Chain A
Amino acid sequence: MKIDFKINGKPTSIDVDPAMPLLWVVRDELKLTATKFGCGMAMCGACTLHIDGEATRSCSVPVESIAGKNITTLEGLSESAENLHPIQQAWIEEQVPQCGYCQSGFMMAAAKLLEEKPNPSDDDIKNGITNICRCGTHPRIIKAIKRAAEINNQNH
């Protein structure tokens, strides 16, 4: 089935099995590999991306459901490598990543959280993001999200 949608602002058309999970379309068909496979059951959040601005676990979304929609992956979160999204800037400032594998999903979830709560409290962050990290970067994730909020506030 032919499905049209936009990914990172770019109109895209693919012809695949409509039941194919969006994660594999993004990774294997479109070769955008920032979005990771972690569990395939929407439990870990490594595959989080945005569909029409909503943070979504793409491993459990059939591609047919995104026809006509706007997809944003980590590759499309910032305008350019020189002009990073506040979340990415904060992630560098606070030195969040260790192995780095889960971080794309965390950053996409965090970017959405900041849109909804421009000045999140610790509890907002703790209860708002349920992604899994095994290296234990959690304390820095909380710091970085608060730092990103500051960057946002300075920019506005």
Chain B
Amino acid sequence: MSTEKKSFSRRKFLQRGAIVFGGTVVASYLGCSPLRRFTAQKAESMDLPAMMSSLQPDFWFEVLPDNTISLKSPKIEIGQGVFTGLAMLAAEELDVPYEQIKVEHANTKSGLIDEMNTGGSSSTASLYEPIREVAATMREMLKEAAAKKWGVKASEINTENGTLLSGNNKITYAEIAKENKNWDIPKTPKLRPKSAFKVVGKSVKRTDLKAKVMGTAKYTLDSELPDMLYAVLLQSPYLDGTIKTLDTKEAEKSTGVVKVVREGELVAVVAKTFYAADSAFKKINVEWNTPNKVQQADLIKFVTVGNGKEVNIQKEGNAKSIIEDNKATVFKQEYRTPMAAHAQMEVNAAIAHVEADKALIIAGTQGPKIVIDTVSKALNLDKDKIEVQTPLVGGGFGRKAVKGLYVEAALISKAVGKPVKLYNSRQQEFQNSLYRPNTHHVLQAKIGQNGEIEAITHDQATPDMLKNLMGTGLPNKILGADFISAGHGASLMYNFKNKSVSVWNAEVPIPIGIWRGVGMFPNAFAIESFMNELAHQTKKDPIAFRIGLLQNDDKISVRSKKVLETLIEKSGWKTPKAEGIGRGVAIGNDRKSIAATAIELAIVEEKIVVKKVTQVLDCGISINPEGIKQQMEGATMMGIGAALYEEATVKDGQIEQAYFSQYPMVSLTDVPEIQCFILEGDDIPYGVGEPPLAPIAPAIAGAVLDLTGKAIRSLPIKLS
């Protein structure tokens, strides 16, 4: 078995690419994008083995005989539209229509995966420069080849629509790629400036639309291997449950059953069809040991500021002592956010074919590298013997970052010696999962005579989100608390003279995962709700109150102020409200993407009805504005659901929600009027998928406060 070097190396953060002409790699590329550089600097002192350690090319360009360009993407298409964005970036330098660039997932057979997870709204931003640099290099190589052929200078050649042109000479990329044998590799050409962009920044149609409306798009559940069997895996409906008694006799006799696999706690029915496997599975009699007896009240107790280890992550002035000295008069509020499920529409699924010295895994995952690492370990098979193919992913939201069913599928395949397809039932998906953890927040402010905020503190108690992502508790041991993921967004962006923020590490007996926006969701709810309450308390307009605290000339403050000013204008913030309407606002800085929301709502028969949502997002350079709007609308809907309905709870060591009917989410009836506005306040792109989500819940809470005078301090919002 290969061993992995554990120490951090800056080299691992280099971005690698390959250029292929006539089926052969003719050039490789090495670069380091700003985002990677940032990650490298941040991560230098840590051990981050599972997430990032890349020695392989990250992406791959190939000119195909039909003059289309194949781009193997290291980033996973989970619905966020990344394939379209990457095609646009490549088209910008390659001078081909973006539709002519066929983007698909890289697979590990050719050694082409990005070893970072797809997540953190970082995909397009991280590849913004490298993709264009490789595309530009490729263009110049094609020009050099044509120049040699025609006896002209490369500078006399134009590129257009996948064709090289000079005087009367004309040849397609595919023709010259086939013909030419010796390639010169030029220095990376200077990238075209933003002012010259022809595609980037224009709203275009997603490249996957037709497949998705024709039903030909293939997800893991739609994939097949020859001679494949189907498996249903026995999974405890109790947290940490283990098998006490098991009777599989009836299941074994059931029609179509090939084998009931039992290896320790791994029990699976394998049959010729899913229906046969599932029918047999229902005949299994099992009793569980249920060592985990955690109750909802325990979770609340475990996740409470003051319990566990405190890590101070932001300190300016002496906020803590000012708050301490004015204990009797400080404005202090507590907020809680609930545990939640991902409930993505496509359950976790995997197809595995394990043979003596190799394994093939087909799995819709946000992290192919984690598939390799975990399957390699489980099978005791070298990593380079494991091929991972990633079909389209039917929703991720963080759930498909880790803990898919690939390890189990591999073990079952090994046990029966055939390819096996395995997927969760919806009940298993709900009850054997990873959850967004519940959080607790205490915010305190010393309000001066004139209503000025003299000091402010924020304490967040949260379980660790990184533990499962990294497959190790190590980061937590170094960091003390997970302020990277779970504590993301805990810091205060506003210009308070005295401010202090701490993240408290809470231990809970619940498997914790990352959920769209990670810590931004709970932190924005707590901080922005407190901001709304402070404005209410000091009788200030909540937007003007925020703008007053964003008067610094650093980029984030300037951009945030602009976003809020735009929000005032676009939402009609200063126009009179209709009868029975409440207005609320919230803003967040999510890894330099600034998203702000204004919400209008009414209360109808004691139920909150969101009427109008105005979203303003400054995500730096926008690649595909229409794609960004899709994400803003999607985040709005998911945010409304998270604010009004969603909550996972635990009872007697069991997640109580097993079906969609027990876990209400948004539906068509919740759709408000949504307006989305995009600002370009910076000259590089930032994330889009997560930032617009976090402000929704506090903006709704703020609107309820505006309408009723009642402050909302926990989610989901319950009016009575």
Name A's B-contacting residues (CB within 8 A).
Answer: 16-17, 20-21, 24, 27-29, 33-41, 43-44, 46, 73-75, 78, 81, 84, 88, 91-92, 95-104, 107, 122, 125-127, 129-130, 132-142
Contacts and interface: CB of A to CB of B under 8 A. Distances in A.
Contacts of A17: 255, 275, 279
A99 B394 CA distance: 5
Contacts of B718: none
Please give me the 3 A-B residue pairs with the lowest Cβ-Cβ distance, nearest first: A34-B215, A99-B79, A136-B637
Contacts of A36: 219, 221, 345-346, 394
B214 A88 contact: yes
A102 B343 CA distance: 12
A37 B348 CA distance: 12
Contacts of A125: 668
B571 interface: no
Contacts of B216: 34
B345 A38 contact: yes
Q: Which of A24, A91, A133, A138 has the most CB of B within 10 A?
A: A138
A134 B395 contact: yes
A88 B213 contact: yes
A43 B392 CA distance: 23
B626 interface: yes
B218 A33 contact: yes
Contact of A99 (B255, B346, B667): B346
Nearest to A128: B668
A138 B671 contact: yes
A138 B275 contact: no
Interface in B326-359: 342-347
Contacts of A141: 668
Interface string B629-641: 0110111111000
B347 A37 contact: yes
Contact of B213 (A84, A122, A129): A84
Nearest to A74: B215
Nearest to A140: B633
Interface stretch (B9-17, B201-209, B439-447): B201-209
A88 B212 CA distance: 10
A38 B426 contact: yes
Contacts of B666: 136, 138
B395 A74 contact: no
Given A46-B345, A125-B668, A126-B668, A98 B213 contact: no
Given A99-B392, A126-B669, A33 B222 contact: yes
B274 interface: yes
A35 B460 CA distance: 44
9 contacts: A24-B273, A28-B275, A33-B215, A37-B423, A38-B345, A43-B659, A44-B345, A97-B209, A133-B345
B659 A41 contact: yes
A100 B79 contact: yes
B665 A134 contact: yes
Greatest chain A CB density within 10 A among B217, B219, B347, B631 is at: B217
B266 interface: no
A84 to B, nearest CB: 7
A112 to B, nearest CB: 15
Nearest to B393: A99
Nearest to B429: A39
B566 interface: no
A62 to B, nearest CB: 11
B666 to A, nearest CB: 7
A133 B397 CA distance: 13
Nearest to B634: A136
Nearest to A137: B634
Given A24-B275, A134-B665, A140-B630, 5 more contacts: A39-B659, A98-B80, A100-B392, A103-B213, A137-B630
Contacts of B279: 17
A77 to B, nearest CB: 8
Contacts of B667: 126, 130, 132, 138
Contacts of A84: 213-214
A44 B346 CA distance: 11
Contact of B674 (A39, A100, A104, A139): A139
Contacts of B80: 98
B215 A139 contact: no
A41 B393 contact: no
B250 interface: no
B661 A136 contact: no
A129 B217 CA distance: 23
Given A98-B79, A98-B80, A103-B212, A41 B426 contact: yes
B68 interface: no
A21 B343 contact: no
A114 B636 CA distance: 27
A134 B209 contact: no
Given A28-B273, A99-B78, A132 B665 contact: yes
